[in-house]
Amino acid sequence: MSKFVLMCVTAGLWLPMALQAAAEVPNFTPDPSTAWNSDRPKSDDFLPPPSGPGPVLSDKAHPYVPNGQGQSTYRVADLTNPILQPWAIEQMRKTNEEVLAGKVPFIARERCWPAGVPGLDIYNRGQPVHFIQTPDKVVIINELYSQIRHVYLNVPHSAHVTPSWYGESVGHYEGDELVVDTIGLNTRTFVDNYRTPHTEQMHVVERFKLIEGGKSLQVTVTVDDPGTFTMPWSAVQHWRRIHQGPLIEDVCEPNNTFFFGYAVAPLPQADRPDF
């Protein structure tokens, strides 16, 4: 066999294997029972990044304590975080003062409101997150109140995006990571559970990566909103792999309005269908 023929045969064998390797992507649902759940007590808070500016967290003088971790408290935001512009600080200061005065603060999940992006990454504590991966789309389902995101793969953003609850998310795979780029978010959501506001200029990039041999899923978030923040900043979320079984339909019950004797944010409602 000539060297030329040998090279052609070798290339013919190698090319399909190379294409197969290139086509391999992280599998966030290796079996039908796999889902992802929180792996820490304050999983509805972002973790700070390894370095650089990070998310708003609780005021050290008034630490956040979730239910089940002792005497629970409501969140009071740390307004000394240098990422915040003055108008955002002032808006959040008023909310802080209301919390310290004994009022119950707004949290999206407690009033059945959509979380937005990146808020969906820290929407709940306890309910699983599911991924459905197809060649042209990834669907992310947060089981709490069936919050759903659609990530369209290998396509550009639309020329004109109408702001919405979850914006427009496009994504692609980079090696072992799913990279999701989101724009077009309306201002009816908050960035986090500290009620950090944002403008329609907000641009969010999330990188989903399996770590610890597939036992955990790490999400690294980068937020850029020159209308609200003085600089781009990053945050991290971790989920652990669980074997939960079929997805459960968890419906929000609108049964606690004024139940505790205080005014609460109204439940979202639609006067007409979106289709």
Q: Which residues contact 157 (CB under 8 A, 6 or more apart)?
A: 168, 170, 181, 183, 184
**What is the pTM (predicted TM-score) of this model?**
0.84
Q: Point out which residues pair with 153 in neighbouring strands.
A: 171
Cβ neighbours around 65 below 10 Å, total: 16
Chain-centroid distance of CA 117 in Å reads: 5
pLDDT at 213: 95
pLDDT band for position 225 (cuts 50, 70, 90): very high
3-state secondary structure of 218: strand
pLDDT over 50 at 19, yes or no: no
All domains in the chain, ordered by first residue = 23-54+108-243 (2.40.128.20)
What is the mean pLDDT of the segment spanning 113-131? 91
Chain-centroid distance of CA 204 in Å reads: 10
